[in-house]
Structures are given as C-alpha cells and as structure tokens.
Amino acid sequence: MDSILVKGNGPLNGVIPIAGAKNACLTLMPATLLSEEPLTLTNAPRLSDIATMTQLLQSLGAEVASMQNGLVLAMSSHKVYNHTADYEIVRKFRASILVLGPLLARDGHAIVSLPGGCAIGARPVDLHLKAFEAMGAELELRDGYVHAKAPGGRLRGAIIEFPFVSVGATENALLAATLAKGTTVIKNAAREPEIVDLAVCLRRMGAQIDGEGTSTITIQGVDRLGGATHPVVTDRIELGTYMLLPAICGGEVECLGGKMSLVGAFAEKLDAAGVSVVETERGLKVTRKNGRVNAVDVVTEPFPGFPTDLQAQMMALLCTADGTSVLEEKIFENRFMHAPELVRMGAKIDVHGGHATVTGVEKLRGARVMATDLRASVSLILAGLAAEGETVVSRVYHLDRGYERVEEKLRGVGAQIERISA
Ligand code: EPZ
C-alpha cells in the first residue's frame, strides 16, 4: 500500500494551479440522468471519486467519456436501462446517493443502496429521503436499499424546509425538483459554491431556478431538460489547503484560479493568524510575514462560515502557533482523528467532544503517521512539511480521492515529497 514520505525543507515558494472542485463535480455528474441530451463538464478534477462516479453512472446505462487527459467529461444518458445503484459501488463513496433524485425525477423509480457509516460521522441520509417524500415519492427501506417510486411516474413540487443545513440533501432535492410537476421551494438550503455551480449548470440545461446561494431556492419544474457544456467551479478546499503551505512553512505561494469569494471566512482566520492573503490577476497570493503565526479560535459552520473540510489542515497550522487555539467542529461528530497523529509528531492537542485545544509548540518532529480520512491525510502532509526530519503518511488512498497530482504540485513549490510503497 502506498505511503507518502515528506521531509521538512524550509520555506515554499512558487505557483500552484487549483483544479475543478471534487464536491461540485460529484453533484454535476448525476445531472446527466435528467436529460437525454449530452452534458459536457470541463475543468473536471482527476480523482478516484470521479472515476467511481463514472463507474456508477455507466452501471445505470449512461455514457461517460473522459477526454483531454481527464479534464473533460462528455456524458449522455439517452438510455438508462438500470435503475439500481449497487452496494458494491455505493459503499466506495457516499456521494452516490446523489443519483437517487435524478433517477426518480427522470423515470419515477429507483433503487439505491444506503451509503452506510463513515470515519468522520454517522452521516445518515434521512433529510434526502424526507425531501423526496415531500415531493410525493413512496419510499421503502429493504435489505440496505432505498426502493423509491413516484406515483404516476412523476414527482410533484413541494415546500421542503430542512431542520438544519445539508449540502447533499439540498443538491438531491434541487436535482429532482427540476423535472417535478409544479414549484418546489427549498428552505434553509445550503449555500455552498458547489450548489451555486449546480444551479448554473441546470439552468444551462433549461431548468428554472432562483435563489441559489441564499437559504431559499425556488425551482419551477419543467417537462424536459436539454444538454449543456459547463466548467466545474474551482475547488475551494484544495485552494484552502495549498494556501496553508506558506503559512505553515514560510514563503510565498500563488494559487492559480483562487478567488477570495470562495474562501472568505478561511482567509479571515489566516489574516488573524498573521498570514497575508492578496488577490492577484491569476488567483490568490499567500505570504507568511514573519516568525510564528498567532493562535486563533475556529468554529466550523456551513458556507459562508469556516468550512469543516479545512478544519484538519488548519489544526496542522495551529500546532506551531504562538499561543493556544480552540477548534470547534460543529458539522461532523467524529472529525478529530488527525489529532492523535499530530500528537505523534510532537503537537500538544487535547480533544474533548467537539472541541480541540491546541497549544502551539516551537517545532514538530517527523514520525510515521496514519491517514484516517481525506482531509486528515493532507493535514498530516502539511505538518510533515514543517517538521524536523522525515514523516511517512500511510493509507494515502484517502488522499487520491480528493487531491490530484499532490506530489507534483508540492514539488513545484520546493517541497521534498515522494510516494513510496511501505
Ligand atoms: C458534503 O457532504 C461534502 N461532500 C463534505 O465533504 C462536506 O464535509 C459536507 O458537505 C459539509 O460541508 C460532498 O459534497 C461529496 P451534509 P454531505 O449533508 O452532503 C448531517 C470532503 O472532505 N445529515 O451537509 O454528506 C450529516 O451527518 C467531504 O470532501 C443528516 O443528519 O454533508 C452532517 O453531520 C467530507 N441527515 C451534517 O448533516 C442527512 O440527511 C452535514 O452534512 C444529511 C446530513
């Protein structure tokens, strides 16, 4: 099994191109099921999760061709002959639940395996199912699968009010509502940039949508959708991750394609920590001004708040901050598994429930550590780049799910990093 070896090597300098967003692409791809005409995505990220979504769509009958070295996904669903999303694919990644809405909306029936648990939390899909029931679907849970039917073969518009914000449930309801009979209003909707990107793409296909990016989205259902070509929005989580390189190691890095609007709350915390972030013509330039960063407190929240997907990486920075920081994880109930691994590198971290208290130390030391999930894996690499000596991060298959060409991109700014089989 692959591991990644990193050696602390001082300040990092240069430019890093930021890819299209994994979490946008994973909700854009199922939109192909809503139309019989081609949907082409450009600026697609080259990741194992995208390959798995491709496999899932192909298992339903969709055609998905990857072109231009994987940057372009040409999809077409003029015939969908299978309406069952099999456990063998679904168990590999949770976003597969996002085919349920489009299949139901397209043909009025679908059978989708329940995703099961996850390292960072229980992650149920009850809000997704309640949204479809509100749109008239009849659901039955049997043998680990959701069996869904829309009486009369078509969903109907509905008022859907989520008790708390869910990115996935908002996306699934939005996808399904485009072909429902009548108007759907999603209240307390998620406002993430990936949802705005989905709405823009669906509108290109002929959908009638208003309010994306706010807490209330209104969709006027239509009888059919056309095709479109759509560029995937920049990956704000990859962006935030690489903005931390000069913050942790010193130096100056320009992230090409970055925009302040994608990382507002995160950039504010970097500024409070004493790290400068400026917008350039090409992206965002990040510079660590002087010695140690300041300690800052962080609370994860839905967008536009501080993203939970940058919490682990921010913890890696705060391990060597001047002072004590408190991180509160409010989105997932078990998302501090990187903390004990950072402690193996000499960090001082005390986790109690949803809070982690990080007392900054002068320097981390390299060690053998284990990745437990996608964002935890990259936080350990960031910590290793700032540590004395060598760090070996095992189970990096997690990393490949969400970061393309990591070694190449990091070596481009002077990092000492290589993939080893250990
Ligand atoms: C999306 O997951 C992202 N994944 C996650 O990124 C991200 O952490 C999360 O949104 C929050 O920003 C993708 O887009 C593929 P939620 P999602 O529904 O949609 C609970 C990464 O690292 N909940 O907003 O699953 C849930 O358990 C990944 O790229 C229910 O209880 O997140 C969680 O505690 C990790 N019932 C909270 O809501 C439901 O039906 C927020 O989950 C749905 C969610």
Closest CA to 402 of 309, 315, 331: 309
CB contact set of 273 (below 8 Å; sequence gap of 6+): 247, 293, 294, 295, 296, 317, 318, 321
Q: How far is CA 87 from the centre of its chain?
A: 22
As a whole number of angstroms, the distance between CA 346 and CA 108 comes to 55
**Is the C-beta atom of 298 inside 6 A of ligand 1?**
no
Q: Which of 164, 174, 309 to mutate to test the pocket of ligand 1 (most atoms within 8 A of CB)?
A: 309
Query: In sequence order, what are the beta bridge partners of 40?
Result: 74, 229
255 noted as active-site residue: no
Count of all residues that appear for the chain in the document? 422
Q: Say what the pLDDT of residue 421 is.
A: 84
Distance 198 CA to ligand 1 centre (A): 16
Q: Say what the pLDDT of residue 119 is.
A: 84
Considering the candidates 25, 118, 201, 319, report the single residue annotated as catalytic: 118
Residue 40 has φ and ψ, to the nearest 5°, of -115, 125
**Is the C-beta atom of 308 inside 6 A of ligand 1?**
yes
As a whole number of angstroms, the distance between CA 95 and CA 118 comes to 12
Q: What residue's CA is closest to ligand 1, atom 9?
A: 167
As a whole number of angstroms, the distance between CA 80 and CA 91 comes to 22
**Is the C-beta atom of 332 inside 6 A of ligand 1?**
yes
As a whole number of angstroms, the distance between CA 142 and CA 231 comes to 38
Q: Looking at this protein, which amino acid is placed at residue 302?
A: P
Q: Looking at this protein, which amino acid is placed at residue 186?
A: I
pLDDT tens-digit profile of 197-213? 999 999 999 999 999 99
β-pairing, 84-85 with 109-113? parallel
Low-confidence ranges of the chain (pLDDT < 50): none
Residue 218 has φ and ψ, to the nearest 5°, of -115, 130
**Is the C-beta atom of 32 inside 6 A of ligand 1?**
no
**Is the C-beta atom of 128 inside 6 A of ligand 1?**
yes
In the 8-state DSSP scheme, what is residue 16?
E
Q: What residue's CA is closest to ligand 1, atom 20?
A: 123
Q: Looking at this protein, which amino acid is placed at residue 137?
A: A
Which pair of tokens denotes residue 365?
A: 């030391």
Please give the full DSSP string across 132-190, using - where no structure is assigned. HHHTT-EEEEETTEEEEE-GGG--B--EEE-SS--HHHHHHHHHHHTTSBSEEEEES--
Distance 56 CA to ligand 1 centre (A): 20
CB contact set of 392 (below 8 Å; sequence gap of 6+): 3, 4, 5, 367, 368, 369, 420, 422
As a whole number of angstroms, the distance between CA 243 and CA 328 comes to 21
Which pair of tokens denotes residue 30?
A: 């199922």
Contact at 8 Å (CB) between 168 and 98? yes
Q: Say what the pLDDT of residue 72 is.
A: 98
Residue 128 has φ and ψ, to the nearest 5°, of -60, -50
As a whole number of angstroms, the distance between CA 200 and CA 323 comes to 43
